């Protein structure tokens, strides 16, 4: 068979009926499994007999996919070589790529973001549990089915911890999504996939990528040296919770990212339920007690003033309330009308409501004037 004109041909018992995608590594066809009479997707890559390394890499991709049965990962049915054509027979999915959806509609509604990104993360967790790192997670490699389910596909750069890494020390992937450690030639791990997931989450929330560049060299500089704009500065409705989670995924130092997908999903689910995520501890933001409205550092479990639980706090920026001023003693925010700081107990001048009480309920400045 000659590659490039396979429609109507039969490969691996599958009749190829239409080309649906084409890339540098081959072509994907919609086909019909003739024995089972069910639709399939067939990825076809032309190879030469001497290209043993290429065949080994393709087999690694197929075996990696075949190891996992998960609702958020495309299923593999068969793999092999026929007449100098390497093929992978996979589940055929009706739908569109996440990239096509993004280019058409931009930012997603937050409820849909929870569903789509949560699904991608669940698929990643299944991969990581099998010792696999995707290494090329991007919107083009996620398909949204007609039911709205996200499924990860195309494992062409997958790394299997139990096999030799053919790409060791090389910068591989797609520039907008490549994490800093890969740009530096270091070995990827699960946190590298989480960085790429952070790029997807940022784009779906904000309608723009965290970094935009003209080429690989410029992307490298941005990923290694720049800090993404806080998502709430792009779309204020996102809120501090999701913004903190997104920025933690995009930490340059992978030691500051989530250690596992499970940790990310815990914070992500807390955001969905209106609880403050653990990621807020690293943002310098504050939370307000829902009972006495005292201001506490993010991540505090109980209010130190009234001792009520802070399990569903309202996350705020201190500049958001004009009726709050810093305590003259401890510097923590307090209501400008209060006569004592709820944090440290320092009395506030009853005349100017600004200075700390020295005696007789007045601050030193007001006593001097009097």
Q: Can you point out the beta strands (E) in 14-156?
A: 14-23, 26-33, 38-46, 76-82, 85-91, 95-97, 132-133, 142-145, 150-152
In whole angstroms, give the CA distance from residue 298 to residue 287.
5
Residue-by-residue DSSP string for 191-234: HHHHHHHHHHHHHHHHSS-S---SSHHHHHHHHHH--PPPHHHH
CA 81-86-90 angle, 5° bins: 105
The upper half-sphere exposure of residue 201, i.e. CA atoms within 13 Å in the direction of its Cβ, equals: 30
Q: To which H or E segment does residue 58 belong?
A: helix 52-66
In whole angstroms, give the CA distance from residue 190 to residue 261.
8
CA 11-13-15 angle, 5° bins: 65
- Calculate Rg over the CA atoms of the chain: 27
- Is 136 known to be catalytic? yes
b/e code 354-363 from CB counts within 10 Å (16+ = b): ebbbeeeebb
Residues in the chain: 370
Of 136, 154, 193, 240, the active-site residue reads: 136
| Helices and strands (H and E) in the chain: how many | 10, 16
Q: How far is CA 369 from CA 329, 341, 365, in A?
A: 21, 24, 6
Q: Beta partners for 340?
A: 347
What residues act catalytically? 136
């Amino acid at each position: 068979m000659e590659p490039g004109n396979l429609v109507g041909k039969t490969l691996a018992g599958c009749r190829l009926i239409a080309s649906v995608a084409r890339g540098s590594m081959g072509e994907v066809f919609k086909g019909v499994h003739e024995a089972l009479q069910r639709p399939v997707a067939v990825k076809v890559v032309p190879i030469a007999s001497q290209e043993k390394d290429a065949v080994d890499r393709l087999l690694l991709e197929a075996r990696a996919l075949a190891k996992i049965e998960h609702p958020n990962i495309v299923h593999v049915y068969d793999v092999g070589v026929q007449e100098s054509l390497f093929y992978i027979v996979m589940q055929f999915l009706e739908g569109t790529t996440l990239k096509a959806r993004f280019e058409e509609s931009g930012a997603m509604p937050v409820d849909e973001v929870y569903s789509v990104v949560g699904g991608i993360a669940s698929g990643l967790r299944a991969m990581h549990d099998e010792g696999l790192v995707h290494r090329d997670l991007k919107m083009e490699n996620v398909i949204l089915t007609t039911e709205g389910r996200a499924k990860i596909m195309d494992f062409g750069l997958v790394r299997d911890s139990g096999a030799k890494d053919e790409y060791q020390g090389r910068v591989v992937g797609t520039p907008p999504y490549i994490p800093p450690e890969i740009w530096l030639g270091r070995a990827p791990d699960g946190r590298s996939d989480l960085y790429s997931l952070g790029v997807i989450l940022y784009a779906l929330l904000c309608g723009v990528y965290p970094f935009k560049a003209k080429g690989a060299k410029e992307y490298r500089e941005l990923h290694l040296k720049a800090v993404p704009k806080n998502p709430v500065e792009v779309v204020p409705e996102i809120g501090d919770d999701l913004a903190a989670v997104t920025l933690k995924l995009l930490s340059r130092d992978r030691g500051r990212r989530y250690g596992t997908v499970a940790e990310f999903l815990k914070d992500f689910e807390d955001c969905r339920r209106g609880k403050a995520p653990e990621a807020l501890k690293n943002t310098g933001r504050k939370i307000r007690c829902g009972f006495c409205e005292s201001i506490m550092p993010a991540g505090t479990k109980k209010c130190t003033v009234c001792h009520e639980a802070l399990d569903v706090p309202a996350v705020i920026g201190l500049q958001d309330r004009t009726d709050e001023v810093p305590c003259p003693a401890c510097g923590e925010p307090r209501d400008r009308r209060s006569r004592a700081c709820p944090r440290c107990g320092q009395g506030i001048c009853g005349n100017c409501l600004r200075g700390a009480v020295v005696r007789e309920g007045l601050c030193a400045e007001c006593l001097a004037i009097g």
